[in-house]
Chain A
Amino acid sequence: MDFKTCLIVDDSRIIRKVARRIVEGLDYEVDEAADGAEALAYCTGVMPDLLLIDWNMPVMDGLTFLRRLRAMPGGDGPKVLFCTIETRPERIAEALAAGADDYVMKPFDGEILQSKLTEVGAIAA
């Protein structure tokens, strides 16, 4: 089977649902995780092609998860988009330095996500 997979990591069920609808529209198979620890367990089993990661989550936050992910075998493979309400430049730079391919400030819409995914090469232009 030749579909791409995406894991959406966010503690808000509503955000996961909104993001899922957009990403599914771009021909991704989508799974969800509610925090970084859940996401880490998921990635240990199977590495998705794309991850959307929130920053502030219970149990394990997005930045900690991202650093752990990038240190895992094969963890440099997935494209990672940080998707959070944090808009301070130094925090955005921090997420990029930790290995995020791009960064999306909430709120976002389908056009923004599509444009970001095109820039990182996750979908064709």
Chain B
Amino acid sequence: MTPEDFDRLQGLLATRAGYRLTRDRIHLAEHRLGPIARREGYANVEALLTNLWANPVASLGWAVIEALLNVETWFRRDRAPFAVLEKELLPALSGARPGGRVNVWSAGCSTGQEAWSVAMAGLDAGVAVDLVATDLSQRAIEKARSGLYTGFEIQRGLTAHTMLRWFEPAEDNWRVRDELADRVRFARANLLDEPADEARFDVIFCRNVLGDMEPARRARVLDGLERRLVDDGCLFLGLDEKLEGETVAFRPVSGRQGLYVKSPSALRRAA
């Protein structure tokens, strides 16, 4: 891959996905695009990219983008947010909602571990949760929807007890049990797109997504999250992700790392 190819890849990821492909990922990019080049019948990655630049077919462009996104995730990542959700937020929100139903969105759900973790929290809390999980990557969504995880994936973040409760063996993998499987609706969505419907959520998980984004694109995503979140709703970001001057819409909740609520100014603006 030439430096020019990498520059153009950076541009493609930034424009279409808002994703910041840092220069130290050049070898990773080469490595991940190899299988796509082979699958699409190109001699090598250079040939694939030459063709993509000359003839930008959307499907090939998205295949390239998906291969370069950071899809790393695991069950109950950082643990504390899921405990706060189960023990504090779901009971409180459920009590305040007609019918007790709570709407949750896992935004940037990757291969689904976060969404299943939220669904488990809902069932453990005895609260009816309507859960939507979206990701930019079609491949990640398909895996999430399959509910199939390898021995490595299933053990990362889950105790054996929890694993046995919610998953069952399926040949060499583990598959989410039926009682959990129908609790999540997975769909492909781009956080850069304008909301196309009126869906609003009581809790949004958008963890470890903004940290990988181009700073210039983060405000747009945050604006979308604000519009999707009800006024007394809660937003979870990754523990290392800080909002610095790019939005006045959210303020952190003290003592609950990664948890945000709408700021008074955002509420005034909405009124």
> A interface vs B, CB < 8 Å?
87-89, 92-93, 96, 102-105, 107-109, 111-112, 115-116, 118-120, 125
Contact = CB atoms under 8 A, between A and B. Distances in A.
B117 to A, nearest CB: 13
B157 to A, nearest CB: 5
A115 B160 contact: no
A125 B76 CA distance: 12
Closest A-B pairs by Cβ, 5 of them: A103-B160, A112-B155, A119-B159, A105-B151, A102-B159
A125 B80 contact: yes
Contacts of A118: 79
A108 B161 CA distance: 17
A43 to B, nearest CB: 23
B195 interface: no
21 contacts: A87-B169, A88-B169, A89-B164, A89-B169, A93-B164, A96-B161, A102-B159, A102-B160, A102-B161, A104-B160, A105-B151, A107-B151, A108-B155, A111-B156, A112-B152, A112-B156, A115-B155, A115-B156, A115-B157, A116-B155, A118-B79
A105 B169 contact: no
Nearest to A100: B160
Nearest to A89: B164
Given A93-B164, A103-B160, A115 B74 contact: yes
B194 interface: no
A87 B168 CA distance: 10
Interface in B151-204: 151-152, 155-157, 159-161, 164, 168-169
B213 to A, nearest CB: 24
A14 B159 CA distance: 25
Contact of B160 (A96, A107, A111, A125): A96
A49 to B, nearest CB: 19
Nearest to B172: A87
Contacts of A96: 160-161
Contacts of A89: 164, 168-169
Contacts of A119: 159
B175 to A, nearest CB: 12
B177 to A, nearest CB: 11
B31 to A, nearest CB: 19
A17 to B, nearest CB: 20
B206 to A, nearest CB: 22
Interface string B134-160: 000000000000000001100111011
Contacts of B79: 118, 125
A87 B155 contact: no
Nearest to B160: A103
A56 B198 CA distance: 57
Contacts of B164: 89, 92-93
A116 B169 contact: no
Interface string B58-98: 00000000000000001000011000000000000000000
B74 to A, nearest CB: 7
A37 to B, nearest CB: 25
A6 B160 CA distance: 20
Chain B CB count within 10 A is highest, among A88, A103, A107, A118, for A103
B270 to A, nearest CB: 36
